[in-house]
Amino acid sequence: MPESTPAAASLVGEEYEVEIGPVAHGGHCVARTPAGQVLFVRHTFPGERVLAKVTEGRADSRFLRADAVTVLEAAKERIEAPCPFSGPGRCGGCDWQHVKPGAQRKLKAAVLTELLRQLAGVTPEEVSWDGTVEPAPGDKVAPGEVPAWRTRVQYAVDAEGRAGLRRSRSHDVEPIDHCLIAAEGVSELGVEARRWPQIASVDAIAATGSNDRMVVLTPRPGGRLPLVELDRPVSVLRAQERRGKGGGPGQRTVHPVHGRTFVRERADGRTWRVGEGGFWQVHPQAPDLLVDALMRGLTPRKGETALDLYCGVGLFAGALAQRVGESGAVVGIESSKRAVEDARHNLADAPRVRIEHGRVEQVLPRTGITRADLIVLDPPRSGAGKRTVEHLATLGARRIGYVACDPAALARDLAHFRTAGYVPRFLRAFDLFPMTHHMECVAILEPVEKAR
């Protein structure tokens, strides 16, 4: 019987004094160990010298993950993290609490520039991007200050019933008494100040278009709901996770306990019903900012036909319908059944809008649509993918608007579009997730021959 190869030694806990190199996608920077192994280091900044402690990886790993536990030479952009729960081994929600706000946006711009070059083969100049990541109005704050922007917060609950947030790349809970990036409407509920026995998670939602507030409680297996008394009137829903086959992820079902099963949001001049599980942008200004960027780029005309793919509760479909008028038509496609119900309710007064339920790659070919003037797509973090992009390119749209919450997926899909005959006419990036590594991008594409 052949001898088994011994496993390579774990390097977790090892410490290396390293020079920090460029920022990378994911909220960390790149360095190398003295032996040349790649380190992805959190809680640091390019140009710093730090003591990095390995958190994941073995001697034969392609790369290691680490935290900067001691800063030996600090960058001028570094500040004291405003959040007391931020730092190595603590809350994983924010990546850049230790970096001045303006420098955070420069880091994001550097990441987007590199991903466009590496995955899409284009420069910022080629996509008419000025290289800036734009803050939302009101989010320009002084170093040491944090904008309270997050209108939806999922709190994890530890074994003692304390609400908190997950640590980086971990299921462990960091109990907190206040999340600095949580919007005022979330903080005023007082979720963090209470104990949640027998509860696994508490989702807190604060609408910005109304005074609607909602909490969704997920009990532990066999757990019972506590009596919910929060600091503001709130709707309460109970969620239940059902295991899939083989113990894998299953279906989440939600049941009302009291109050509405939705919140009312306001954007683009109208009110939107958003049920639990229906997608809505987390930053309060994001819906209007993204609608404005899309409509300016697409320039919809009366009588045109438009597609809104991954349409959620219908925000972009509604914006398109208003602008193409009664002589135009809009078809939306969305995989979430609840979001489809909300979209149909929200756009019931727009008879020229049709919302289809299902996965885009499955439903779009079945619609029989062979031509469209405009296409909007706002895919999940994984992107649209080559097959969907190739199908969209056959529809002859004069312009395509792509909304992306992940710059790597955007860059990959831009490469697919380029092969299929579409290139970006211009691109904008928005810092709609301050203190984190995330950003939102809007790209407007045109057929190659028209873009020349």
Nearest-angstrom CA–CA distance, 361 and 143: 45
Report the amino acid identity of residue 82.
P
Q: What angle do CA 76, 78, 79 make, to 5 degrees?
A: 120
pLDDT of residue 318: 98
Query: pLDDT (tens digit, 9 = 90+) per residue, 212-265?
Result: 999 999 999 999 998 888 999 999 999 987 665 555 555 788 999 999 999 999
What share of the chain in percent tops pLDDT 70? 96
Query: pLDDT (tens digit, 9 = 90+) per residue, 13-36?
Result: 999 999 999 999 999 999 999 999
pLDDT of residue 249: 52
Query: DSSP states of 261-289 as a string?
Result: SEEEEEETTEEEEEETT----SSTTHHHH
> Catalytic: which of 94, 179, 405, 441?
405
Query: pLDDT (tens digit, 9 = 90+) per residue, 178-212?
Result: 999 999 999 999 999 999 999 999 999 999 989 99
User: Among 414, 410, 427, which Cα is nearest to 130's?
Assistant: 427
DSSP E strand stretches across 302-413: 305-309, 329-334, 353-357, 374-377, 399-404
pLDDT of residue 7: 78
User: Among 442, 305, 292, which Cα is nearest to 377's?
Assistant: 442
Taken in order 441, 386, 380, 302, the sign of the CA dihedral is positive
User: Exposed, middle or buried, 371 (CB in 10 Å: 0-12/13-18/19+)?
Assistant: exposed
Could you tell me the CA-to-CA distances from 114 to 22, 99, 383, 442 in Å, in that order?
A: 10, 20, 18, 17
Please say whether the beta carbons of 416 and 410 come within 8 A.
Answer: no
Tell me which residues of the chain have a pLDDT lower than 50.
Answer: 1
What share of the chain in percent tops pLDDT 90? 92
pLDDT of residue 312: 97
pLDDT of residue 5: 61
Please say whether the beta carbons of 76 and 84 come within 8 A.
Answer: no
Radius of gyration (Cα) for the chain, nearest Å? 23
Q: What angle do CA 113, 116, 122 make, to 5 degrees?
A: 105
Structure tokens that stand for 368 in this block:
């029989």
Instruction: Look up 405 and say whether it is catalytic.
Output: yes
